[in-house]
Amino acid sequence: MLATMKELLDLAESKSIGIAAFDTPNLENVIAVIKAAEELDQPVIIMHVQAHEGFMPLTIIGPIMVALAKTASVPVCVHLDHGETLEHVKLALSMGFTSVMYDGSVLPFDENVANTITAVKMAKKYGASVEAEIGVLGVKETADGKGVIQEEVYTDPDEAKRFVDATGIDALACSFGTVHGLYLEEPNLDMSVVENVRKTANIPIVMHGGSGVSDADFIKAIKFGVRKVNYYTYMAKAGGQAVKENILSNPNDDVYFHDLVLLSIEAMKQHVKSMLKVFHKL
């Protein structure tokens, strides 16, 4: 069943959990995430990030995401992740997405505010929720999954409050030491940033760059106010690793793509279930 991000954030706040949000750039990811959520009877957020257009265009995967969310036995929010243009935000909303993220974090503050206000106005026409971001993550997500290194700028609590008050968004992505993709070294997260932004701006915090963070740090972040946890890379890696191990262990067998698809879905589903248990405190 379709749900908005706001509805799931309210649920997360009432239970002091972090709603799991997974990027799903292909059908196999969508199936794995929704099956995992259904087996654990948990709400979930499926997302398409604009940078993944090279994997699968939104025009193809978007309607599939909405259709499968509608028939799911649990609440599913269909969310645009890191929408870098207002045109992409509008496209997602027009095909039934119940939530969008406008990411103007690399823009000057005033320009980010102005564009985010426009995104909020568009979303209201569809009854959809809006996430936005200030501060910059150390690695920007790219279509090749590797990311590009940027100078990290932690979110300033006072600036966050001004941004939230001016835009009326439902959730704020917070930069506090996480990065997209694989961590090259152990992450050093500043939980005081999460705590102070949450208290000052009085808004649910979104944690991007979840793959590779320890369970203990996830639990800490949720304790300090994270209510949505974005996750992708290690889920995708789990599916790829399962296929790799199967082929290497059976080098003389014929390989059929449909078998590999089912194998990857099952591996990703099990990984998603393990993360749902952490984020949702199961």
Banded model confidence at residue 58, pLDDT cuts 50, 70, 90: very high
pLDDT at 105 over 70: yes
pLDDT of residue 274: 97
**Residue of 23, 81, 156, 217 marked active site:** 81
Checking if the pLDDT of 185 tops 60, the result is no
**Short-list 172, 137, 149, 134, CA closest to 5:** 172
- 22, 274 in Cβ contact below 8 A? no
Burial of residue 92 (number of CB atoms within 10 Å: 0-12, 13-18, 19+): buried
More confident residue, 175 or 219: 219
> Which one is predicted more confidently, 150 or 201?
201
> What does the domain layout of the chain look like in residue ranges?
5-279
Read off the pLDDT band of 147 (50, 70, 90): very low
CA distance 212 to 279: 14
Residue 179's pLDDT band (cuts 50, 70, 90): low
Q: How far is CA 111 from CA 114, 166, 167, 242, in A?
A: 5, 12, 12, 44
- Top mean pLDDT of 24-38, 183-197, 201-215 is at 24-38
70 CB-near residues (< 8 Å, 6+ apart) = 1, 2
Mean pLDDT of the chain: 91
Average pLDDT over residues 26-53: 97
**Confidence at residue 180, expressed as pLDDT on a 0 to 100 scale:** 55
- As a whole number, mean pLDDT of residues 105-122 equals 96
Whether the predicted pLDDT of 138 surpasses 70: no
pLDDT at residue number 260: 95
| pLDDT value for 183 | 43
Within 10 A of 42 (CB to CB), how many other CB atoms are there? 19
For 157-161, what is the mean pLDDT?
95
Pick the CATH number of 5-279 from 3.40.50.2000, 3.30.565.10, 3.20.20.70, 3.60.20.10: 3.20.20.70
Q: Beta partners for 2? A: 76
Per-residue confidence band for 143, with pLDDT thresholds at 50, 70 and 90: very low
Instruction: State the Cα–Cα distance between residues 17 and 227, nearest whole angstrom.
Output: 6
pLDDT for 246: 94
The pLDDT value recorded for residue 74 is: 98
| pLDDT number for residue 186 | 55
Q: Could you tell me whether strands 99-102 and 226-231 are parallel, antiparallel, or unpaired per DSSP bridges?
A: unpaired
Side chain identity, residue 36: A
Confidence at 154, pLDDT banded by 50, 70, 90: confident
Looking at residues 181-191, what average pLDDT do you find?
63
Q: Note if 158 is an active site residue.
A: no
**Confidence tier at 225 by pLDDT (50, 70, 90):** very high
How far apart CA 83 and CA 8 sit, in angstroms, is 20
Nearest CA-CA partner of 178 in 137, 135, 226, 219: 137
